[in-house]
Amino acid sequence: MEKFEVAQREVEKKTKELEELEDRHREKLQEFEERNDYFQTARRAIQNILDEKYEETLHYLKSTDADQDFYRILNREMESYQMLSEDALMQAQKILELESLKESDDFRRERRYLDDKLEEAYLRRRIAADDNNKTRE
């Protein structure tokens, strides 16, 4: 009976490890989703700030009767700031995506390993149960 109990504890242990792995993976995915939401919020906030500053500067230029060169400079500078902010956010999102892909790969690898170990534990338990049944007969 002892072999069966040892095998049963091993099955329970591997099952628990698998559940913990899945819980950690879900937490990581949630973290990645929250970080992505943060980037989207940051993108909108930066765009809103740029839009506000553009409108303020545009209003100032109109009130001072600035010539067209100032408008061109304003547009060029705003475009430059917008491109810089987009590039920074896109880079951050690429890093996040790479981290997410690595997490998924690691999860799948660990999951396969634990699935194999769990299958082996079930097999040992079945063999132990068969041995117990044979000794009873």
- The pTM of this model reads 0.75
How many Å apart are CA 137 and CA 131, to the nearest integer?
Answer: 10
Residue 137, both tokens: 């007969």
What pLDDT, on the 0 to 100 scale, is given for residue 17? 97
Residue 136 has pLDDT above 90, yes or no: no
Orientation of helix 68-136 relative to helix 2-63, angle to 10°: 170
CATH classification (class only), 2-136: mainly alpha
Residue 10 has pLDDT above 80, yes or no: yes
How many Å apart are CA 94 and CA 99, to the nearest integer?
Answer: 9
Which amino acid type is present at position 66?
A
Q: Taking residues 86-90, what's their average pLDDT?
A: 94
Residue 96 burial (CB count, 10 A) = 17
What pLDDT, on the 0 to 100 scale, is given for residue 85? 93
Q: Taking residues 74-93, what's their average pLDDT?
A: 94
Q: What is the pLDDT of residues 22-76, one digit of tens each?
A: 999 999 999 999 999 999 999 999 999 999 999 999 999 989 988 899 999 999 9
Which amino acid type is present at position 33?
E
Q: Taking residues 75-100, what's their average pLDDT?
A: 94
pLDDT category at 18 given cuts 50, 70, 90 is: very high
Residue 1 has pLDDT above 70, yes or no: no
How many Å apart are CA 20 and CA 74, to the nearest integer?
Answer: 55
pLDDT category at 131 given cuts 50, 70, 90 is: confident
Domain boundaries, given as residue ranges, for the chain: 2-136
CA 79 to chain centre: 31
